[in-house]
Chain A
Amino acid sequence: MLEIKNLHVQAGNHEILKGVDLKVNVGEVHSIMGPNGSGKSTLAQVLAGRETYRVTEGEVLYDGKNLLEMAPEERACEGVFMAFQYPVEIPGVGSAQFLKAALNAIRKRRGLEELDAMEFLTLVKQKIKSLGVDEKLLHRSVNEGFSGGEKKRNEIFQMALLEPRLCIMDETDSGLDIDALKIVANGVNALRTPERAIVVITHYQRLLNYVVPDYVHVLLDGRIVKSGGKELALELEEKGYAWVEEEARAAAQA
């Protein structure tokens, strides 16, 4: 479903991703772990279409199509969703209005009938309940004045509503207490189906206790230096990243 080949990315003159390779098949859950500054968020943003980053080499295929050529909104319509590490507050834009605009844009692209206000509300209320999100959120401006936990839950709620095929979660677990973490995890697990792939980018192993990945990758200094099964996450939790760095260095020298 997603194939990243030798991806090099710069921000300004600084090279952040230095040749990332990754293949994600439909139905799989991958976790990308790594210390601060390793390029995790950059990878997520590039996949979502952020224009402040410059791809200098490599390619990204999504369902065989060139993802990097698509505008962010096209990617969304094609089923790519990134849960933001820092969701943006948008004062004055009502959540309900925003969600309806997004949902109908995507439905239109998929050849589905657009929902009217009533149909939309029915759907939204049903989804919102299943995620334990407060319905009042719909009457507030997008993310405005939300707590950190509310913002993250709101991302998962949007994900559930828009039903993407490729979910990318950028440190959705950071800063959450255990209750909020469980809500987020339940939301993600509910989306875990054979038609969908999920990429969980995280700094900590904790979320992976609840969203158990099929594969774990370690991103270090702009490259994926190690891949393994779910046990790798536990090992990283226990031992930190130093030993992986060491291994990578040794491999580079060899």
Chain B
Amino acid sequence: MIAVTQERDHYLESFARFEKATAGNGQEWLRPVRRAAIARFAELGFPTTRDEDWRFTNVAPIAQISFQLAGDAHIELAPRDIEQLTFPGPRDIQLVFVNGRYAPTLSSPASPSDGLSVRSLAQAFRDDRDVLEQHLTRYAGYHQDAFSALNTAFMEDGAFIHVPRGRVVEEPIRLLYVSTATDAPIVTHPRNLIVLDEDSQAVIVEDYVSLDADVYFSNVVTEAVVGQNSVLSHYLIEQESKQAFNVSTLRVEQGRSSSVASHTVLLGGALVRNNVHPVLAGEGGTCLINGLFMGTGRQHMDNFMLVEHASPHCDSRQFYQGILDEQSHGIFSGRIIVHKDAQKTDAKQTNNNLLLSQEAQIDTKPQLEIYADDVKCTHGATIGQIDEDAIFYLCSRGIVKDAARALLLFGFANESLERMKVESIRKHLQALVAQWLPEGKLLEEVR
């Protein structure tokens, strides 16, 4: 108990210093929310495996490290330092963050003339207070979740994206979060707010990368408000250092007839928790929740889906695929809640997993809570090894065994990647996945 109290006290003390340091920064309106959030964290503490939603994930490794806030420590990166990490097209909008802080010299924000806002949250605190007050912290509840509470208490920077009514942004908007080596382990609380007004469309990519094999903690919250008849494609690419921790929460509020796709690829991190929580709040909305997680070594990757059907005639589709090697541990929890009024709900969930070693482990858990009476909900999960019949088939056509294996693993992962409609992103991810495979080089040859 003493240890647990210390863990909490560390964050409470940190908050007291944070409040002092940020006094008079013009965000007084947020202070009650921050205070409520840290108070809630003090009550909740870090979750334990006795909490049903954290049954398979012990967050002690995160709780036990006294992470320091990144603060304003200035780290200068040149564009070429991040060159290999990024893949923007010529017209893409890109915001780059270094250790949680917006780096203007590395970024190419939207031109201010065209009504589209893509800027740092720190900037938006100054310029967009109306929109922020209307939406920020309204969706990602910190009452149930200690990590969201911490993020809410400490958030300073991140991305603010506001797509005006009727606007279709075809080029992907990229948010690149780079972590660099620091003297002591740091925690960042990236906070992104995405607002799509009616009839608009956007593609947004969050990419978490590391320049060094360092211990740090990214505690991310993204809130997306998708207006009537709007279309959002959201990509999360997690390639943190193998010693880092990443807890990400994507909370989506969907308006009437809106369409959302959430694509996730988890490749890095020592311990990763990926929360995806769409609420289909308006009639006729659809959402696709698509993910791929690939673990090796002792990586721990926990995917926690919570799909809430709150209105009639909404469709949701969940597809998650896991490939786990060595002693890695993957988790897929897929919870679907169909509220009382959400008649004609059509919800489907599929989780397929490949285990490549004896020690690799997967826990998969569907959970349906249905309070309406006219709904269609299905779920299915598979856990398997690599298909020896398929290996033999490929070999019998002249392909060497290692290449056959690489083809099969890539094919399995690619089922997930093929659901990603933006070609430049898909190709980038296909290359990342090929690199991940031990036999990936052979794949280059056969592709």
Q: Which residues of A contact B (CB under 8 A)?
A: 48-51, 71-73, 75-77, 81-82, 84, 87-88, 90-93, 97-98, 100-106, 109, 141-142, 158, 162
Which secondary structure dominates chain B's binding surface? helix
Choice from B399, B401, B414 contacting A101 with Cβ under 8 Å:
B399
With contact pairs A88-B387, A88-B390, A92-B410 given, residues A77 and B398 touching in the complex (Cβ less than 8 Å):
yes
Q: Are B395 and A92 in contact (CB under 8 A)?
A: no
Choice from A76, A92, A141, A142 contacting B398 with Cβ under 8 Å:
A76
Chain A CB within 8 A of B87 CB: no
Which residues of chain A are near B413, meaning CB under 8 Å? Answer: 92
Which secondary structure dominates chain A's binding surface? helix
Chain A CB within 8 A of B381 CB: no
Number of B interface residues at 8 Å Cβ cutoff, please give it.
26
With contact pairs A91-B412, A93-B408 given, residues A73 and B399 touching in the complex (Cβ less than 8 Å):
yes
Which residues of chain A are near B389, meaning CB under 8 Å? Answer: 88
With contact pairs A102-B398, A105-B399 given, residues A97 and B447 touching in the complex (Cβ less than 8 Å):
yes
- Chain B window 383-414, contacts with chain A (Cβ cutoff 8 Å), 1 for yes, 0 for no: 00001011011111111110110011011111
Q: Are B394 and A98 in contact (CB under 8 A)?
A: yes
Bound state CA distance, A202 and B390, in angstroms? 23
Q: Are A76 and B408 in contact (CB under 8 A)?
A: no
Which residues of chain A are near B410, meaning CB under 8 Å? Answer: 92-93
- In the complex formed, the residue of B with least CB distance to A114 is B445
- In the complex formed, the residue of A with least CB distance to B404 is A73
Chain A CB within 8 A of B415 CB: yes
Q: Which residues of B328-359 have CB atoms within 8 Å of chain A's CB atoms?
A: none
- In the complex formed, the residue of A with least CB distance to B447 is A97
Q: Which residues of B contact A (CB under 8 A)?
A: 387, 389-390, 392-401, 403-404, 407-408, 410-415, 418, 446-447
Q: Are A102 and B397 in contact (CB under 8 A)?
A: yes
- In the complex formed, the residue of A with least CB distance to B415 is A92
Which residues of chain A are near B393, meaning CB under 8 Å? Answer: 84, 87-88, 90, 142
Known pairs A84-B396, A105-B400, A158-B397. 11 more at Cβ < 8 A? A50-B392, A72-B396, A75-B396, A81-B397, A90-B393, A90-B394, A92-B411, A93-B410, A93-B411, A97-B447, A102-B394
With contact pairs A92-B410, A93-B411, A101-B446 given, residues A49 and B396 touching in the complex (Cβ less than 8 Å):
yes
With contact pairs A91-B411, A101-B403, A141-B411 given, residues A49 and B397 touching in the complex (Cβ less than 8 Å):
no
With contact pairs A97-B447, A101-B403 given, residues A73 and B387 touching in the complex (Cβ less than 8 Å):
no
**B17: min CB distance to chain A, Å:** 51
Bound state CA distance, A97 and B410, in angstroms? 12
Bound state CA distance, A158 and B398, in angstroms? 12
Choice from B396, B400, B407 contacting A93 with Cβ under 8 Å:
B407
Bound state CA distance, A178 and B409, in angstroms? 37
Bound state CA distance, A226 and B11, in angstroms? 85
Which residues of chain A are near B399, meaning CB under 8 Å? Answer: 73, 98, 101-102, 105
